[in-house]
Structure 1
Amino acid sequence: MPIKKLMHLLANLFPNTDSGDNPMAVKIFHRMNVVKDFFVSKKFKKNKGWPAVQGNYVVGNPNGQIAVCTLTTDTLIKQIVQWDNIAIVGKVYTPNLGIEKIILNIVSNPNIRFLVLCGKDSPVFHAGQALQSLFQYGIDKEKRIINAIGHYPVLRNLSVEKINQFLEQIELANCLEEKNIEILHQKMLELHKMNKQPFSKNNGTEFTEIISEQAEFSMLKPGGKRIPLDYDHKGFFVITTDPEKKQITVKHYFKDNKPGYLIQGHSAEAILLSLLQNELVSQLSHAGYLGAELSKAETALKLNLKYEQDQSLKKTN
C-alpha cells in the first residue's frame, strides 16, 4: 500500500484529538514502518543474488551498512572487510563502468547507507574525484558527471532514477587518499554508531530489474582464420629471449628477407607499441599475433620457462 494511502486510512480510523494532533495514528504508522523495514531486510537476506554485478570486490556482511571503495589500493581490502558492519569492499579504476557497478551493487542492497572513499586515486582516470563530483554536483542531461576530470565520466548504462536513488540512499564519507588503517577504522566506527535504518524507498528492488539495466553484449565464439605470414607487406618478425639478461629481442625483416629493424627490451607492451608507432605492422591480425607472442616471451622470462616462437611454453631442463 502506498504511504499516502496508509496515512489517510490511519487518519480516518483514529480521529484527531481536540488539539488537532493524532498521536495514535502517528504511533501505529511508525511501528508499521519499522516492521516494513524489517521484512525488507529479511527478504534481502534470503536473496542469494547479491552482489548484483561482478567486480573487483570482497563481500563482508551483506546486512552491513557500509560499503568501502579503496580506489586503486589493494592492501586495505583484506583488513577492512573483517570489520563489523562492512557489507562490501572493492576497488575501482574507471569513472564510468566502474562507478556504474558500484551504484548497481549498492542500490540493490537497502541495508547499505554509507560509502567510504579511501586509498589512492588513479592518476589517469580519477575515479575517486568523479565519485566526489557525483555527490557534489550530480549529472547533466547526458548523464555525464559534472566537473569530473577523468576520461569519459558518463553513466550511460544507468537510468537517472537509479543514479538518483544511489545519491539519496548513500552518505559519502570522503577519505580520499587516506591509507592509514587506524584512521579509517575510527571513521568506520563513527558511521557504525549512526545506525541508519535500511533504505525504505528501495522497496526490495528485484535483481532481474538491476541486471536488465546493464549493457547487453552480442555473443561471439572464439576462433577464426589466421592470415598467412607473408600477407603483411611491411614484413615479418623473429622473436627470441635471453634468460640471463631477462631481455626480449625482436628482429624485423622486409618481405624479401632483408634485415629491417632491431628492438630489445623487457616489456612486451613497450616493444609492441614501438612496432606500431614505427608503422612496421599493417594488419590488425598481425598486431594481435605479435602481442600474444611478446606476452608469452615476457611470461617465459618471469617464470623461467623456455620460449620458442609459435610454440607452447615449456619448462627448462
Structure 2
Amino acid sequence: MAKVIVDSARCTGCGTCVRVCPEKVFEVKNIDGKNLSEVVAEANCFVCKACEIRCPEQAIKVTAPEILKVKPPEDYPPEEGRYLRGNDLSPVAVVAILDTFDFKIPPELTKLLQIAIESGAALAGTLQTENIGIEKLIANIVANPNIRYLVICWRESQGHLPADTLVNLLENGVKDDKRRTIIGARAPTPYLPNIPIESIERFRRQVTIVSLLSEDDPVRGTDPELVRRAVWSCIQEQPTDLLGYKLFDPGAWPEPPICRKIAMKVTEPWRPELDEKQKMIVEQALSAASRIGGKKIQEDAESSRKRKEGERRFLELLGVRPGKKDKSDK
C-alpha cells in the first residue's frame, strides 16, 4: 500500500494536488487559519506520483515498495513517423519543435534527437503541427505507460505554435465540441478530432511537460548538453532539480497501455466547421455555380458548332470540300 505524506511546513494550500490526482486522495482544508492539503483517501492512491511531481513546493512524498515498469505492446509505437525508438522502460520522451517551413529536418536537430536516445530516452522525434502532429504524439505516449515526462526542445514554431499548444492541452484540456479544440491555445487550428477523448485525458494525466524553450534565451532549447541533462534527470531514482523542475523516475503509469493508430476522420482540421444552415447555403452556392458552369459549356459548344458550320460553307463557296485536298494541289 502507498504512503502519502504532506509536509505542512511547505504546503501553501494551492490545490495543485487536488487537481492532478485522479483518485481524489487530497482535499484542501482550513487548519488553524491556514489552507493546507490533507490526505483524505490514502487507500485510493495507486502511486502515479502526479501529485509529487507537480507540487510547486515539493511538499508531497509518495512511497511504494518498488518502481513499476511494464512491457509495451508488440505494435508499439503505433505512429512511427519521425520518431526514434530507444529504451522502452525509460520514463522520458523528447520532442523537438520543427519549424513550419522546415521541409527537411536540419542536421543539428537530427543530432539532438540522437543524443536524446543515447542519453536514455524512450522516444525522440519532431513535432510540426498543433493538430495531427500532437495526435500522433499522444498515440505514442499513451501506448507506453513507462513514459511520464515529455521534454520539449529546439525552438517554438511561430506559425503553428505546437509547444504552446501542448502546454495548454495539459493545463486546460479540450472543449466538448466536434473538433476537440484545445482550450487556451494560441495556435490557428488547435484541434484533436482524430483521437479518442480517452487517449487525450490519459495523456494529460500520465505525463508532465519539461520545456527547455525560453523566449528570453531562444537558443537554450537547442543545447545538446541541456537535452542530455534533462533526460538524465528524469531517469534518476532520487529527485533532481533542473530549470525549476523536480525530476525523478516515478515508475509506470498504473493503467494498461492504449495502443491504437489515429483514425483520420478529419484530414483538414483547418477547414471551418459549419452548422446545418451554413452547409445548406454552401450546397446551394455550389449547385448554382455548377448550373452556371454547365450553361456556359453549352453556350461554348453551340458557338463552336456555328463557327465550324460557317467555315464549311465558306469552303464550299471556294469549291473546296472539307477534309479533301483540291486537285490543283497535286
Q: TM-score, normalization: structure 2?
A: 0.49
Partner of 1:225: none
Partner of 2:190: 153
Shift of 1:166: 0.3
In 1, Cα distance between equivalents of 2:144 and 2:123:
11
Instruction: Tell me whether 1:56 sits opposite 2:92 in the alignment.
Output: no
> Matched residue of 1:116: which SS?
strand
In structure 1, stretches of 5+ residues that fail to align are 1-25, 219-317
For residue 249 of structure 2, what is the amino acid of its counterpart? Answer: N
> Matched residue of 1:214: which SS?
coil
Instruction: Tell me whether 1:200 sits opposite 2:268 in the alignment.
Output: no
Shift of 1:80: 1.5
In structure 2, stretches of 5+ residues that fail to align are 1-42, 48-63, 99-108, 237-247, 268-330
Shift of 1:37: 4.3
In 1, Cα distance between equivalents of 2:116 and 2:203:
22
Between structures 1 and 2, the one with greater helix share: 1
List structure 1 runs of 4+ shifted beyond 3 angstroms.
Answer: 33-38
CA deviation vs aligned residue, 1:244-286 (integer Å, no higher than 9, x gap):
xxxxxxxxxxxxxxxxxxxxxxxxxxxxxxxxxxxxxxxxxxx
Partner of 1:11: none
Aligned residue pairs, count: 178
> Matched residue of 1:185: which SS?
helix
Instruction: Tell me whether 1:123 sits opposite 2:158 in the alignment.
Output: yes
Preserved contact between residue 142 and residue 257 of structure 2 (Cα < 8 Å)? no
Partner of 1:169: 206
Preserved contact between residue 74 and residue 91 of structure 1 (Cα < 8 Å)? no
In 2, Cα distance between equivalents of 1:204 and 1:147:
28
Partner of 2:223: 180
In 1, Cα distance between equivalents of 2:66 and 2:75:
23
In 2, Cα distance between equivalents of 1:53 and 1:137:
25
Partner of 1:214: 263
In 1, Cα distance between equivalents of 2:67 and 2:224:
36
Partner of 1:144: 181
**Comparing both chains, which one has the higher relative contact order based on Cα–Cα distances under 8 Å and sequence gaps of 6 or more?**
2
Instruction: Tell me whether 1:108 sits opposite 2:135 in the alignment.
Output: no
Partner of 1:248: none
In 2, Cα distance between equivalents of 1:200 and 1:36:
11
Shift of 1:48: 2.6
In 1, Cα distance between equivalents of 2:251 and 2:142:
14
Partner of 1:266: none
In 2, Cα distance between equivalents of 1:122 and 1:214:
26
In 2, Cα distance between equivalents of 1:217 and 1:148:
19
Shift of 1:136: 2.2
